[in-house]
Structure 1
Amino acid sequence: MHLSILKAFNPDFLVEMLETAHYFEQWDKLLYTADILHSYAQRIYEERLYCKAMGMTIPLIRMQHPLVYYFGFSQQMRGVACQHLGNYKQARDSIYKYVELGWLEDLGRDEQEIVLEFRHLAKVNLYAVEILSGKTDLLDDYVRFLQTYPKGLLDGLVVIMQTALCYRLNVDKQLSQLTDDISKIKSKQDKTEESQYRRFCFLMNSYNMRTT
């Protein structure tokens, strides 16, 4: 997509579109919009490098987040879409693109924190992709990681239940290790978590019906 067209986009509006598509599980739309956001971030970054190399003033673009955030978020959402569509190879490829964002130049302290956050997300999401693709021996390691990373807990619970149903596994032990954390989710949810929590409850009910 041409730079002049890309620059006409508002990256924060694209983020909102991605969040909405994720909430309503519109995976094809999520893929399409994630690719646009990543192309936007890439072209703006290239323009900044060019201006820096030529000694020109870097254009000021109004954005709510540092540019590194849009690199990471676009690939994160692309990986999520691929995972839900069952395309685990492409999901891995997307994860590998945000597991290490430190290659971007001129990262300050705030940007480094964003890099670290995406590194944690990449680790938990790579666990999910590997487990869903059949490496169920990683479940115990996954649970231990979720206990240290509360932000990934709800998505992780969905992955555990999907794995249990897909591979006909008993995951009572893993769930018991997360009982206290599940109780906290029940008592405290924000709006963005409601859909995922309902999904977890649906999968949990299906699992209980299967095991009774």
Structure 2
Amino acid sequence: MITNTTTIRLEIEKGIRQKGHSLSSFGKQAGINRGIISGILNGNPPKSISIRQLDLMAEALGHAEGWMYEYYVDECFINEKADWRRIKAFLLRCTEIGRYDCIKEVLDRLMEDLNNTISIFGLAEELYAEGKVQESLPFYECVIENEKHQHSERLAISHYRVFRASIGENTEKSFRSAIRFEPYRNRLPENLMLDALLQLANVYYTLQDWKTMEYCADELKLLLEQVYKIDPHYPEKIIAPKETERHIVVYYGQSFLLKSVALESLGKYLDAKSYISGYADLSWFPDLDSVGQKEVDKFKLAAIANKHNLDLLMGDDSNLDEYVNFLQRHPNEILPSIIVILEAANKYNFDIKNTLKTFSISFDSEINFQNDYYQKSTYKARLVTFYYELALYFLIRELHNDGIKYVLKSLEMALEIVNKNKVLDCVSLFEQFKAFSTDNQKEFYENLIRGVNNDAKIHIVAKSSFDIN
């Protein structure tokens, strides 16, 4: 009976004959000892082929990468028993050349014994540690689908890795990934839980889901206080965490900053102000290296900006000139801050014409902000909000052409990143002022909406699994 392993050997023998080689000359061409080739082709039973040897022989015979890989799976399961050393080498090679069909076939065979999830998880972690995130995902997904112990740390970490890899510009995709991951967040090792809560909060910030973002901040703060004993009154008692992605001071400062931003966005301005002191001066934090000190300095700047923001949102623009001078010295803060300045101007009818001019924001200018300071997804989400608030500012002042121009710009970008909530806001605003739009603007709007209907990009998504009353 001809099997897949037999087929490989028959194809090698056929290639050797067609090339006019002897075993010696072929071995020399392929860089493989003649005795090894003889054992592979003529042994009884035949000697197993390593994936490296198959690649060398394929190259010597003039075949492309991945030759006979679909037949090689059987080579990994000699006598129906998994040879993990051989399997691992094959899987790694498949990730290098994108043979995910073969990876799936091997994983399906391995999952006939669910104990193999341990080895699969180990391989995924190796790839992840090497920065091969996308290559690791099929293996994490395999663990997620087949892990027997639903409360295992292995399963939680796999969910977390997939969640992190899924965060990007597509807002809805990020949210769906967050919903899938959330039930497993409390099963993670505590050092990874810090990163997980921070990332979840960032996703909900992008979605403008302030209540869930607030819960993330509360969980983060509780974890830091209970597990790592972080208390500004007793800094000497802080327990150093295991390896974390960021300096520990980042998680502590962010627990206050995220809470403050969420409360601000919920209109609870006085409550939001009370949290600024939690991150305004973190110089008391022990063991601050150069990285930690830079983070402390960033929090200090954020506190100054956010205090100005809250003053404006409560109707006090007396320090606006001082704020503008601050932003000129710290251009990375301009984009998030100008959004709040616009929101306050729209709410209280402030005249910020000179402020917009200072930052080169005019009716017809191409607006550019530094975008290497924030995550790309956060930057784009903020741009969507900026264009929306700028449009509203112009429309309130009956500068309809310019206002509609920026509504459409916000809508176009909201569709690009699939931000459903902002799409609805933009559509509502455009429809309200549609009578003032030009024919070209109407046509552009209709094309955008037609694209949504054709691509079906905007969907209603599931509710977060955080406990929300």
Task: Provide TM-score, normalisation by structure 2.
Answer: 0.40
Is this contact kept in 1: 2:228–2:240, CA < 8 A?
no
1:24 paired to 2:207: yes
Aligned partner of 1:208 in structure 2 is 394
CA distance in 2, matches of 1:16, 1:159: 23
Query: Which residue is equivalent to 1:123?
Result: 304
Counterpart secondary structure, 1:46: coil
From the superposition, tell whether residues 182 and 116 of structure 1 become closer, same or farther in structure 2 (CA, over 3 Å): farther
Is 2:319 the partner of 1:135?
A: no
Map of 1:106 onto structure 2 = 287
Question: What's 2:216 paired with?
Answer: 33
CA distance in 2, matches of 1:129, 1:199: 18
Maintained 8 Å contact 2:371/2:379? no
SS for the counterpart of 1:134 is: coil
Per-residue Cα deviation, 1:65-98 (whole angstroms, up to 9, x for no partner): 1211101111111111011111111111111110
**Runs (5+) with no aligned partner, structure 2:** 1-185, 399-469
Residue 159 in structure 1 maps to residue 340 in structure 2: yes
> Contact 1:164 / 1:171 at 8 angstroms: preserved in 2?
yes
State the structure with more CA Rg: 2
Of stretches 30-39 and 144-153 in structure 1, the one that deviates more from structure 2 is: 144-153
C-alpha spacing 1:162/1:46, structure 2 compared with 1 (3 Å): same
Match of 2:251 among 57, 65, 70: 70
Structure 1 residue 105, shift from structure 2 partner: 2.1
Match of 1:83 among 250, 264, 267: 264
The answer to whether the aligner puts 1:195 opposite 2:381 as a matched pair is yes
Distance 1:130 1:144, change over 3 A: same
CA deviation string 1:106-128 (max 9, x = no partner): 22222122111100111111110
Whole-angstrom distance in 2 between the partners of 1:18 and 1:47: 20
Contact 1:82/1:90 (8 A) holds in 2: yes
C-alpha RMSD over aligned residues: 2.9
| CA distance in structure 2 between the partners assigned to 1:138 and 1:47 by the alignment | 34
Counterpart CA distance in 1 for 2:226 and 2:188 is 8
Query: Which of these residues, 23, 39, 43, is aligned with residue 226 of structure 2?
Result: 43
Structure possessing the higher relative contact order (Cα contacts under 8 Å, 6 or more residues apart): 1
Matches within 5 A, 1:163-182: 163-179=344-360
Q: 1:43 to 1:104 in 2, by over 3 A?
A: farther
Q: 1:11 to 1:187 in 2, by over 3 A?
A: closer
Distance 2:344 2:290 in 1: 38
Give me the whole-angstrom Cα distance separating, in 2, the residues matched to 1:191 and 1:88: 26
- For 2:383, the aligned partner's letter is Y
Listed one character per residue, the Cα deviations across residues 189-210 of structure 1 (whole Å, up to 9, x for unaligned) are 9332112111111111111112
Number of positions where the alignment pairs a residue of Structure 1 with one of Structure 2: 204
Distance 2:318 2:356 in 1: 15
Structure 1 unaligned regions, length at least 5: none
Structure (1/2) with the larger helix percentage: 1
Give me the identity figure in percent: 25
TM-score, normalised by the number of residues in structure 1: 0.85
Cα offset for 1:153? Answer: 0.9
Find the residue that maps to 1:137 and give its secondary structure: coil
Q: Against the structure 1 CA distance between its residues 118 and 201, is the aligned structure 2 distance closer, same or farther, given a 3 Å change threshold?
A: same
